[in-house]
């Protein structure tokens, strides 16, 4: 018989607060057209994007995360000292070590919270949310801060007609805490590494000097579109099934804000009822990878398009290829 005392965590976990930060600079399509041969109409028809935010040198990954996290902590009604874990999902913090999460945890004023970074691309928020849920139910933390943050403008090739218009910068954060009832459903997640070439960094950091060109994100647009629409719709349905609900039970759908055409096609494939509010933050924020779901969630709640207690399906998918979907109760 084991002599180890069982963990004493909460029975369930829930999202308690959400916060977002978008850089001050708004970049319309006209700026993108200075470096690629295209048109505003073409960009909007292909992606649904009209504007995006690009960070200034002062709006670092850490600085944007701290701003978003402060709002999430206030929204949750707790203090930073109560945060027992900080999870940061990002692919655009260029210092390999230490983790930027440790800097964020310190500057927020947490009481020596566990802090670490994860790299799961556009599915990173879902991965972080799942880890946070586990920490709370297991009992290693009472409150966990999950941050999705990107400065993708640093990894954008402005001469690449296929991707120059896609990416934006920003940070979104949520506080996850204890709950007496289920409020974060089972996660359906996974990876398809055989498709890793469809979204990737052009060259490794070790080859940067010899290539003479700063690494950028590139993708095979049509392959990504087909995978996202058909395969991720299946994953979304699996998440609904795992949570024991049907599309009719949903109030809100918050997919990764990759592309408006992908979002609209997923809505159609899932046969979501008209009453379901669909996040379309991509129009003014662009694709912010790990930050896109919490940023879209924050905007829906702030504008009244969604309300506290709504049942929402969230799904992220991207480079890897990786994905994560779950059903949550909105804070």
List active site positions: 122, 256, 287
Q: Quote the radius of gyration of the chain (alpha carbons, Å).
A: 19
- CA–CA gap between residue 111 and residue 81 (Å, rounded): 5
Q: Which residues pair with 174 in a beta bridge?
A: 18, 146
Vertex 6, ends 4 and 11: CA angle to 5°?
165
Helix ranges, the chain (H):
29-32, 40-47, 61-76, 100-108, 124-138, 208-211, 221-226, 232-243, 260-270, 282-285, 292-303
Token output for 197: 């070439």
Q: Spell out where the chain has E strands.
A: 12-21, 25-28, 51-54, 83-89, 114-118, 143-151, 169-179, 188-191, 199-201, 217-219, 252-255, 277-278, 311-318, 322-329
Closest CA to 129 of 145, 113, 110: 145
Neighbouring C-beta atoms of residue 14, cutoff 10 Å: 22
Does residue 135 contact residue 144 with C-beta atoms inside 8 Å? yes
Bridging pattern class, strands 169-179 and 143-151:
antiparallel
Q: How far is CA 220 from its chain centroid?
A: 21
Q: Which residues make Cβ contacts (< 8 Å) with residue 182, sequence separation at least 6?
A: 12
Q: Which residues contact 254 (CB under 8 A, 6 or more apart)?
A: 279, 293, 296, 297, 300, 312, 313, 314, 315
CA distance 273 to 297: 19
């Amino acid at each position: 018989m084991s002599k180890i005392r069982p963990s004493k965590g909460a029975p369930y976990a829930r999202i308690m607060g959400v916060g977002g930060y978008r850089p001050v600079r708004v970049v319309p399509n006209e700026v993108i057209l200075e470096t690629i041969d295209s048109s505003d109409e073409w960009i909007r028809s292909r992606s649904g994007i009209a504007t995006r935010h690009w960070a200034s040198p002062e709006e670092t990954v850490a600085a944007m995360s701290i701003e978003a996290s402060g709002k999430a902590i206030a929204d949750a009604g707790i203090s930073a000292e109560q945060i027992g874990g900080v999870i940061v999902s990002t692919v655009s913090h260029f210092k390999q070590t230490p983790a930027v999460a440790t800097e964020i945890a310190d500057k927020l004023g947490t009481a020596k919270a566990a802090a670490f970074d994860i790299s799961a691309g556009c599915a990173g928020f879902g991965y972080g949310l799942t880890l946070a849920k586990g920490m709370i139910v297991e009992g290693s933390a009472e409150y966990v801060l999950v941050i999705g943050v990107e400065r993708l403008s640093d990894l954008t090739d402005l001469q690449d007609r296929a991707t120059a218009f896609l990416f934006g910068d920003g940070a979104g954060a949520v506080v996850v805490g204890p709950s007496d009832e289920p409020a974060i459903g089972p996660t359906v997640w996974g990876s398809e590494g055989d498709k890793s070439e469809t979204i990737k960094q052009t060259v490794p950091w070790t080859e940067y000097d010899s290539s003479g060109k700063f690494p950028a994100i590139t993708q095979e647009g049509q392959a990504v579109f087909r995978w996202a629409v058909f395969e991720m719709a299946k994953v979304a349905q699996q998440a609904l099934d795992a949570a024991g609900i049907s599309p009719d039970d949903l109030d809100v759908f918050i997919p990764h804000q990759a592309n408006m055409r992908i979002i609209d096609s997923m809505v159609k494939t899932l046969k979501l009822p008209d009453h379901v509010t669909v996040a379309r933050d991509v129009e003014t924020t662009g694709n912010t990878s790990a930050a896109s779901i919490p940023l879209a969630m924050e905007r829906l709640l702030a504008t009244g398009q969604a309300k506290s207690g709504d049942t929402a399906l969230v799904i992220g998918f991207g480079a890897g290829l990786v994905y994560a979907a779950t059903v949550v109760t909105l804070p």
